[in-house]
Amino acid sequence: MDTSRPYVVLENKTSFVLPDKVFPPYQNIDVFVVGKKPAFYRIDSLICQELARRKMKCEIVDSLNFAAAKDKYFITYADYWTWDFKDYMHLLKVRVLDENKNVIVIGVSEGNTAGMHDAPMPQKQVPVILDLIMKGKE
């Protein structure tokens, strides 16, 4: 990916909630969503902070306007939470699109695939996902 291009991050005001003790893979996780809540974290801000730390330009918007933003990358994300004595993030999925709405890369952080989780939190997972994205890997 061209790291000189600015990034536009779509603000996400909701987090997805999964049932207890369900650990689906990211490819079909949306089938298991049982609800939405107001966003637990401002992950858009975490993404922009991490990009700024890497000397990349970033802005947060509440809607994407592909036609008005040439030569930019667009980032969307979805965070999925479940409960085990406390809420924890089961999965964070980050997609990077070009100005033609083509998905360039998807970065995914899965914290629990077998019932034993390490309680991943967005602050720790965003840098990991951005490392994967910058390398162009899922």
The CATH number of the domain holding residue 63 is 3.40.50
pLDDT at 69: 74
pLDDT at 115: 45
Q: What are phi and psi of 137, to 5 degrees?
A: -115, 155
pLDDT at 111: 61
In a domain, 65, yes or no: yes
pLDDT at 53: 94
In a domain, 72, yes or no: yes
Task: Note whether 45 and 60 are within 8 A (CB).
Answer: yes
User: Total structural domains in the chain?
Assistant: 1
Residue ranges of E strands in the chain: 7-10, 14-17, 35-38, 58-61, 73-83, 87-97, 103-110
Containing structural domain, residue 97: 7-135
pTM of the model: 0.86
In a domain, 1, yes or no: no
Residue 105 CA to residue 76 CA, distance in Å, equals 11
In a domain, 104, yes or no: yes
Would you write out the chain's pLDDT as a tens digit for each of its 138 residues? 677 889 999 999 999 999 887 778 888 888 888 999 999 999 999 999 999 999 999 999 998 887 777 789 999 999 999 877 777 788 899 999 998 889 999 988 866 554 445 667 888 889 989 988 888 754
